[in-house]
Amino acid sequence: MERTEEEEAPAAKDPNASLPSPTYRSLAAPVTKPVDKFALLPAFLKVRGLVKEHIDSFNYFITKGIRNIVKANNRIEARNNPSIFLRYNSVRVGVPSVQVQYIAEKITPHFCRLTDRTYSAPVLADIEYTVGKQYELKRKPNFIIGYLPIMLRSHACVLNGKDEAELARYGECPLDPGGYFIVKGTEKVILIQEQLSKNRIIIDTDSKGRVIASVTSSTHEIKSKTVIFMEKEKIYLQLNQFTKPIPIIVVMKAMGMESDQEVAQMVGRDPRYGDLLYPSIQECAFERIYTQKQALQYMDDKVMYPGAGNQKEGRSKSILRDVFVAHVPVESGNFRPKCIYTAVMLRRMMDAILNADTFDDKDYVGNKRLELSGQLISLLFEDLFKTMNSNAVELMNKTSEKIHSSPLDLSLHIKENIITHGLERAISTGNWDIKRFRMHRKGVSQVLSRLSYMASLGYMTRITPQFEKTRKTSGPRALQPSQWGMLCPCDTPEGEACGLTKNLALLTHVTTDQEEGPLMNLCYSLGVEDLSLLSGEEIHASGSFLVMFNGLILGKHRQPQRFANAMRKLRRSGIIGEFVSIFVNEKQHCIHIASDGGRVCRPLIIADKGIPRVKEHHMKQLRDGIRSFDDFLRDGLIEYLDVNEENNALIALYEHEDQDDVQRSSITHIEIEPLTILGVVAGLIPYPHHNQSPRNTYQCAMGKQAMGNIAYNQLFRADSLLYLLVYAQRPLLTTKTIELVGYDKLGAGQNATVAVMSYSGYDIEDAIVMNKSSLDRGFGRCIAMKKYTVTKEKYEGGYSDRIVKPQRDKDGALLKQNMRALDEDGFAAPGLIIRNHDIYVNKQTPRNTKRDSGAHLTDRDYKDSPAVYKGVDGETTVVDRVMLCSDTDEKLIIKCIIRHTRRPEVGDKFSSRHGQKGVCGTIVQQEDFPFSERGICPDLIMNPHGFPSRMTIGKMIELLGGKAGVSCGQFHYGSAFGEPSGNADKVEDISRTLVKHGFSYNGKDLLYSGILGHPCQAYVFMGPIYYQKLKHMVLDKMHARASGPRVLLTRQPTEGRSRDGGLRLGEMERDCLIAYGASMLIFERLLISSDPYQVQVCRKCGLLGYYNHKLKASYCSMCKNGENMAKMRMPYACKLLFQELQAMNVVPRLKLTEG
């Protein structure tokens, strides 16, 4: 039966409808397809991947650093008798082991985690020493000087180089990146510390607006800060050792540069420099200082501690040599390098005065250095090593002073505990106290968070600042352009640490120190002229540049660009280290060469006039396994640039993209992949470049709170608190970073079908409405595991606690019902349900722990001290595991892991990957939920108000991409800035896939109401979005109280949920009640429900009396009678206030009126 069109009502065309203007494809399409360079990312991460900077830093310490420290302090001798000595010949780190009954047993990291031990290895040294009265020389190899905690997966770790099967045998997760320590069973991370560069000139203004040039010098022996500032047109030196600022010309004369003309030439022959320098020269002449001797005498009068020491040359000269710009060496009293350095500082300062563009930015990433764990442990080890040697010398001196003593043996006085316990205590507490440098830092090491896999990775890439977090200055917190590619722009906390705590980007590498001597010689070979051969006039000749090496002035070069190109060519061919940085600073007329540790750098593809050196055949060889990432470096295809050197480069994001303002031939480097400017945690976000930036930052915070899987060995660990998602999934719309870091194997969320619509009002304020059937089938179901530890204590006299079996009556029934979870050995049985107030370890303690030794205790001498489980009433928790081990004091430790499987309930917190968090507002039956024409019933309903003001377009695209993914059966990608290179799917392509499978291109479906049955009045945006379950659950936060404990002092309810405290009525709540006029409610909350107390008040004198319960009469102590007493109720805290005032001789008197 064919339908015929109705002729009665023809559809008239809308005359206002206009066709949209057609779009044209770009006429500048690329002629060739760009080379896909993504395979370089996993190749790089294999070599220098995640947290490798931690491991590299520690490896540098245990291979070179510890050797240098011991070599620098390799001989100790008795003070009175130099023939008695001990020498350390070589030092190395052994295999991780623990001393059990004088036998070294090898240990694994997991063994240390479970048994609360420190994963450490002995530091072995070959020593030779003299012994006996004849000073006989002896040698002793493998002498243990201490135990060093070992970073996991470093060279000394047993996990180094192991494959997946071997790691599983050790009980480790192959996805665990390592890079942390295990101290007393706790995983500790030494966070990356951000510092200002040492030995570098910083031009800045201080709080008074003065222009200052400052250098923080750091050498092996001393750290000092040198500040030169200008005030009232005169230039001064400020140093802690001097009581007053010293005029700078006096300092120059004191260092031997007596001629004013020479100083002026050294600064520069520009007349403007002379004008700025003239008032200082005049001031020096005014002080009548013309010679070096006079200058030194002038400075000697200003020394802070003049009486200290009797030195021939005077204190000020030694200060100038050792403290003033301490990193510039003074050889044989030659102060000329320091004079030149000071002149360069003056010149830079005057440049800044003349041109504000030349100020330095302290927040510029190139002016920062990152201190990693190897450097921090190096400082600590050196301090402890010196302390150990000093103690040994002191003991030897005391011993050798006695006559006819036992044979003198220095090796007996070496106490290995100093190093062992010092390192362990520092890493355990996070307090770095080094006396020599007056370093007192806290929070250096923190417990590695195992809340989720992402939380662990985020910890390893975190950078902590040295600033006070309470300062509100915006400079250090602002996002720096120099952070591009080095630090993640999104991953930073909200709140007080916002912008200060940062995270490394994906391809960032932090350098370690490289040897300086050969590089210096190479610079001289390439034409650097030594400054000692040049006059001031020649130093600043036009066209020639200074060459500074790690903050030291090497000399001058007349052809700077050629010198820089030659150095770079050598670096690209592998002759010098790949991390050496060559930065030509045109403004400063200086070439900076840096080979020190702590610089952030990243790999980039070298381009010759815009054409990349990496070709398709190189990538094919990489994919086939023939070529590795190091081959790219060696062949000069890829190189590392640090932040400073990036200023000399022009880096393009993609190939073949000509801009109007940039010529293609001027491009020097090309990014490997733009998604690498984000870090590990931010790399989880799909389409972050389509989101508002704060939403990405919020997701970086919440991604670490998401439950999921934390490691392959998560069920064999003994963490204090562990959250797991039962059915964790991999995101449907994934990113390349997710695959690179292994998040697809340890997911922390589930793909939920989300309908963006209004429903029932329970989705107010970001709450979500959830489908009950989805929860029934396992959506959002999680497991919380908690560890409870019981120690079997030992007491004096050999007594100890004991574990007894549960007590039963003659019929075999339990005497106490709360022992039902116990097995016959007195411990809770795995698999049994344990409830609130149940006993999980049936422990007894001796009543008298100080009894005479040897006496035998009977049952009557013990008292019950069981370990009782505290949980929520009505919840079913299960004993998962019981572990027994002995700690380092040979005590028995019982660890009970209790497991609780939870189902989402109203109030639990969920979040998508775009900072859109919400609690569960209500749970609705599936039959009441709307459904689509394909029968799809959403798992949750999201309020559409969540989108407009937050601008999370990336979330919308994620919905489309996920929907296309389930339609065509493939994962879709949403990597950052990935559309041009194919690492992110375009919206047009996703929409085409949707249309091909019968969906609307904009992702909106026709839904039918589940309650009424007819279609909804709008098409609904519906599809899968990856949702994370966050750790904030009602069961952990729910609190109510009718009555409970009180504080002893104020008799008010205790504070906090864990102490069964009262619910707080804050000042704002009080103000609201006052404004509302609810007086009786205030009265009830602040008195009746808090701390009511009945006091006896004397009507006559107004003071507080007391009630004598024996005589049943009130009494006033002041009036000495009870005739005028009245009873009233007041808060006990108020009574306490009155009594405290009386204790301070303030007499509060009450005037009573009849109520």
Q: Where on the chain is the footprint of another protein (CB under 8 A)?
A: 1-3, 5-6, 8-11, 13-14, 17, 19-20, 22-23, 715, 726, 772-773, 776-778, 781, 783, 812, 831, 876, 878, 880, 899, 901, 925-927, 931-935, 937, 988, 991, 994-1002, 1005-1006, 1008-1019
Neighbours of 464 (CB within 10 A): 19
Mark 755-783 as b/e (b = at least 16 C-beta within 10 Å): bbbebeebbeebbbbbbbbbbeeebbbbb
CB of 999 to another protein, least distance (A): 6
Cβ(788)–Cβ(952) below 8 Å: no
Q: Which is nearer to another protein, 27 or 1012 (CB)?
A: 1012
Q: Which is nearer to another protein, 795 or 1001 (CB)?
A: 1001
Q: Which is nearer to another protein, 8 or 873 (CB)?
A: 8
CB of 773 to another protein, least distance (A): 4
CB of 833 to another protein, least distance (A): 9
Largest CA distance in the chain: 132
Name the CA dihedral angle for 853, 859, 862, 868, rounded to a multiple of 10 degrees. Answer: 140
Distance, CA of 453 to chain centre = 15
Q: Which is nearer to another protein, 315 or 895 (CB)?
A: 895
Would you list the DSSP string of 1071-1113? Answer: HHHHHHT-HHHHHIIIIITS-EEEEEEETTT--B-EEETTTTE
CA-nearest of 141, 35, 31 to 91 is 141
Q: Which is nearer to another protein, 668 or 932 (CB)?
A: 932
CB of 986 to another protein, least distance (A): 11
Name the CA dihedral angle for 678, 500, 453, 109, rounded to a multiple of 10 degrees. Answer: 120
CB of 568 to another protein, least distance (A): 46
CB of 959 to another protein, least distance (A): 16
Q: Which is nearer to another protein, 415 or 820 (CB)?
A: 820
**Rounded CA separation 434/466 (Å):** 16
CB of 1015 to another protein, least distance (A): 5
CB of 10 to another protein, least distance (A): 7
**Rounded CA separation 907/904 (Å):** 8
**Rounded CA separation 406/145 (Å):** 23
Q: Which is nearer to another protein, 931 or 1115 (CB)?
A: 931
**Rounded CA separation 419/231 (Å):** 48
Q: Which is nearer to another protein, 671 or 838 (CB)?
A: 838
CB of 421 to another protein, least distance (A): 39
Cβ(838)–Cβ(818) below 8 Å: yes
Cβ(155)–Cβ(63) below 8 Å: yes
DSSP H or E segment with residue 36: none
Angle in degrees, 0-180, between the axes of helices 52-60 and 373-401, rounded to the nearest 10? 30
Q: Which is nearer to another protein, 5 or 660 (CB)?
A: 5
CB of 2 to another protein, least distance (A): 8
Q: Which is nearer to another protein, 648 or 901 (CB)?
A: 901
CB of 837 to another protein, least distance (A): 21
**Rounded CA separation 284/295 (Å):** 9
CB of 1013 to another protein, least distance (A): 3
The SS3 of residue 600 is: strand
Both structure tokens of 453 = 């896999």
Both structure tokens of 1020 = 């609904």
Q: Which is nearer to another protein, 206 or 988 (CB)?
A: 988
The SS3 of residue 755 is: strand
CB of 1014 to another protein, least distance (A): 5
What is residue 664's DSSP assignment? Answer: G
CB of 995 to another protein, least distance (A): 6
CB of 1079 to another protein, least distance (A): 48
What residue type is assigned to position 273 of the chain? Y
CB of 427 to another protein, least distance (A): 32
Q: Which is nearer to another protein, 140 or 777 (CB)?
A: 777
**Rounded CA separation 649/664 (Å):** 13
Which stretches does DSSP call E strand in 494-599? 502-503, 509-510, 529-530, 545-549, 552-557, 581-585, 590-594
Cβ(452)–Cβ(494) below 8 Å: no
Q: Which is nearer to another protein, 14 or 660 (CB)?
A: 14
CA-nearest of 350, 358, 354 to 267 is 350
**Rounded CA separation 144/123 (Å):** 6
Which residue's entry shows tokens 């990146």? 177
**Rounded CA separation 1001/994 (Å):** 6
CA-nearest of 546, 564, 569 to 556 is 546
Q: How many helices (H) and strands (E) does the chain have?
A: 29, 56
Q: Which is nearer to another protein, 680 or 725 (CB)?
A: 725
Q: Which is nearer to another protein, 623 or 986 (CB)?
A: 986
What is residue 303's DSSP assignment? Answer: B
CA-nearest of 834, 822, 824 to 899 is 834
Q: Alpha helices, DSSP H only, in 10-151? A: 40-48, 52-60, 66-72, 109-115
What residue type is assigned to position 31 of the chain? V
Q: Which is nearer to another protein, 272 or 777 (CB)?
A: 777
CB of 901 to another protein, least distance (A): 4
CB of 647 to another protein, least distance (A): 40
Q: Which is nearer to another protein, 689 or 899 (CB)?
A: 899
Q: Which is nearer to another protein, 3 or 472 (CB)?
A: 3
Which stretches does DSSP call E strand in 150-282? 181-183, 186-190, 192-196, 201-205, 211-218, 223-231, 234-238, 246-247
Which residue's entry shows tokens 């590619």? 485
